[in-house]
Structure formats: C-alpha cells, structure tokens
Amino acid sequence: MKFKKTTLPNGLRVILAPMTETGTVTVLVMTGVGSRFESRRENGIAHFLEHMMFKGTEKRPTALDITRELDSIGADYNAFTGKEYTGYYAKVEAHHFDTALDVVSDMFLNAKLDQEEIDRERGTILQEINMYEDMPMRKVGDDWEALLYGDTPLGWDIAGPKENIRAFRRSDFVRYMRRGYVSGNVVVGIAGNINPKAAGKAVAERFGVIAQGIRPEFKRASDGQSGPELSVRKKKTDQTHFLLGVRTFDMYHPDRYALAVLSVILGGGMSSRLFMEVRERRGLAYMVRTEVEAFHDAGFLATQCGVEHENLEKAILVILDEYRKIATEGVDEDELRKAKEYLKGKMAMGLEGSDDVAEYLVSQEVLRNEIVLPKEKVRMISRVTADDVLRVAQDIFRNDRLNLAIVGPQDAKKKAKLEKMLDLKIGDR
C-alpha cells in the first residue's frame, strides 16, 4: 500500500493513495468528532448533522441537486457517524474524480443548514430511532455500551434521545461544527486511480478555506467495575438477544493484537469454538459471534447471540464455559495458526477497493494520528504466541470485568437468576 500524507498550511491533513490497478476513485472526508464529543443537551447532533450535510449548499441548493449529480455518474456515496468520528464519501469511476471531490467538499464546507430543512429532517431521524427500537439485534448493542460506560457520552446512544431531536436549532449545528469541523481535526483521503500531484492540488484548492482549529477534548469513559453487571430491556420479541463479554483495552494497548487473535479463536468464524459449541453441537442459535471494539480510552470483547427465550440460560453457560476454558487451558498451536491466518486474510480482502483503502488510511490518521501499514499489522499478528493469548485471557476474563446485556421478554425473577449465573469461577486477580 503506497500513500503520501501532507499537511496544508491551515493544518488540514491530506492522504493520497494511488492505485493504478483499479478503475475507481474514492473521496473520503472524516472529522475526528462523533457522539462522544457531545454534551447531554447535544446528544444526537453529530448524527443529525450528518443528515443535514446532504440537504443543500449555495451551489447545489437542494438535496435533490446533490443526489442527482452523484447518481448521474453512478457514484456510491454515503456518510456515517461513530462515537469518535464522522465521515462523508463518494466512490466513482476514476474519470469522475473532479465531480466527486467537488460535491463532497461542497457538502462538507458549505452546507446551508436551513431551519426549514432541519425541521423537516426531524421526522426522518425520529423514524430512524423508531426503526432501531424495533431491531433488538442492534438495540442490544446500544444497551451493552450504556451498561459499560454509564451516563457518559461513550455510553449514550449515537442517535440521541427524541427530545433532543425535536429541540435542535440551526445555531446548535453551527456551534458544534465550529468546535469539531475544523482544519486540525479533519482528514481528506483520496484513494484510487489518480494523479497524486493533480489530486493534491485540487484538495488544497477546495479545503484551503476550512475554518482553523484543533480537535476538542472529550469526557473520559466510566470504566470502574467491582463485579458482574447486568442490563435487561424487557421487550416482546421472537428471540432473546444478548451480548456477553468483558471490558478490555483501549486502541493503543500493546496486547491489542493478542486480543484480536483471542477473539477469532472464540467466535471469529464458522470453525471457532463458540460457533461450534453454540450452533453446531447444540443448535442453540443461528447467529453467534465474538468481536472486539477499542476506543481512545476503553474497549471490550463481546459475544453476541440470538436464541429461543427458553435457551437463554443454556447459551450463557456455554459461552461462560468457553471463556473459562480459554483462560485456564489456553490454545493449541493449530488454533493459533488458523486464527492468525484468518486475521491476515480478512485484512487483505478488506483492502481490495479504493473505498476500503481510503477508510483504512483516513480512519487511522483521524483516530490515532498515525498510520500503521498492513504489513506491520501482519508482522505484529505473526508475533502473537499461545502464551500471549493465555495471558490476555487470564487478564480479561474476570468477574470484575464481566457484563451481560439482554433484550427480550425476561421478567424480574429471570433477571435475579441470571445475576447469580454471572460467575466465571476462575477468581478475580
């Protein structure tokens, strides 16, 4: 992977990644603020603002003007809001690069934020929130993070509460953008079949006018815990959905590669321990997976599953047992090798397109202020040993890190029983 990073005089960073073997170009603009940079009154504004960026500029006065221009060149375009970033992108045929850059930069820099459009978009956002409420497989993830991080921005829902959505005014969006949509907090990435010199000049011409500033501070996560914790959202569902897991490491921790290997061994594929035990051998679930997430100052490993209501306890006990086994018995060399090759293979396949490369490079620069090349990640994954996996497992699988979030028709009696079940039985160290 070849790329060049430059910094404009105003502090905006530009990453150019020429890919002569592809016929596409992706333009990605990302700012290093998401929902965790909001106050309680602002909660939901980062996501709402993402919607408003598509509602018109002086040059393209309406949403239709923006979407019609991108649709007319067959662009793949969208935006996304996370807890620590917000991104806007368009992927096009290489000869449409100028149009893609012009539209994306215009949206990002010149959104009108008309109050009439804000009022109209409230209904769309409220329906999006309602949609997620009806998706227990997704909602349980929000409940999980709320359980871990409590009443802090990292524990709040990205979409925000409905009362905030109904209350936002244009001045709220302008204030938020002045704080986070500034030169020192924004990265522009161009990946694909480009002339790097011409592309760099085009980016500088458009983004040289961005407001100057630096990344704002965020409130640190609440990470204190003394014993297992449980969250139950009572809801009529066809399945009970749950996340069971533990607090782990932030994105800078030296054991993050060993943790990734551990996660794959547990639930990273159809031959993983939990897929075999929960689905194949017991038929308790269709979907079971284990994943890790890392923020600037916190992280977690969690296994997600959807089961028949009466099978909830069985599934939880199986997962706890596999956590216990890997923390006491470790892993064999064949499992270790397979997990490391799995990670390397997924990374290689995830970097085939210009959009993949743009997101890989830009997100690292936004979140970490540095870019670790794939070959370096491969090297670090290759260095993970069975002893590393065992050490990390013993570190994280403790009762004072254990958490369970559930969405389903569970009553108070079942909740009390589940609380007693939450015990890894390997002692707290």
pLDDT along the chain (429 residues), means of 10: 95 97 97 96 98 98 98 98 98 98 98 97 97 96 97 96 98 96 97 97 96 89 88 95 97 97 97 98 97 97 97 97 97 97 97 97 96 96 98 97 96 90 77
Nearest to 48 by CA among 103, 112, 124: 124
CB 262 within 8 A of CB 326: yes
Of 50, 145, 277, 335, catalytic: 50
Q: List the one residue out of 329, 331, 325 whose CA is nearest residue 425.
A: 325
pLDDT of residue 427: 57
CB 246 within 8 A of CB 405: no
Diameter of the chain measured on Cα atoms: 66
Q: Which of 267, 52, 65 is nearest to 177 (CA)?
A: 52
CA distances from 377 to 63, 186, 298, 349, 357 (A): 40, 24, 21, 14, 15
Which amino acid is present at 423? D
52: Cα within 13 Å, side-chain hemisphere: 28
pLDDT of residue 412: 83
Q: Determine the pLDDT at residue 14.
A: 98
CA Rg value for the chain? 23
- Per-domain boundaries in the chain: 4-207, 229-421
Report the C-alpha gap between 125 and 247 in whole angstroms: 31
DSSP 309: G
Q: Quickly list H helices, 111-267.
A: 115-133, 136-149, 162-167, 170-180, 196-207, 256-267
Which tokens in the block code for residue 297? 């100052």
Strand ordering across the sheet containing 285-294? 229-234, 402-408, 240-247, 299-307, 285-294
d(CA 82, CA 30): 11
Would you say 305 and 287 are in contact if contact means Cβ atoms under 8 Å apart? yes
Is the CB of residue 389 less than 8 Å from the CB of residue 331? yes
Q: What angle do CA 246, 351, 268 make, to 5 degrees?
A: 30
Looking at this protein, which amino acid is placed at residue 123?
G
Active site residue 50: yes
pTM of the predicted protein model: 0.95
| Tokens encoding 339 | 């997990």
Asked whether the beta carbons of 394 and 340 are under 8 A apart, the reply is: no
Pairing of strands 299-307, 229-234: unpaired
DSSP 241-286: EEEEEEE---TT-TTHHHHHHHHHHHHSSTTSHHIIIIIITT--EE
Architecture in CATH of 229-421? 2-Layer Sandwich (3.30)
At residue 1, the pLDDT reads 87
Give the pLDDT of residue 429: 44
Q: How open is the CA angle 138-89-185, to the nearest 5 degrees?
A: 90
The superfamily in CATH containing domain 4-207 is Metalloenzyme, LuxS/M16 peptidase-like (3.30.830.10)
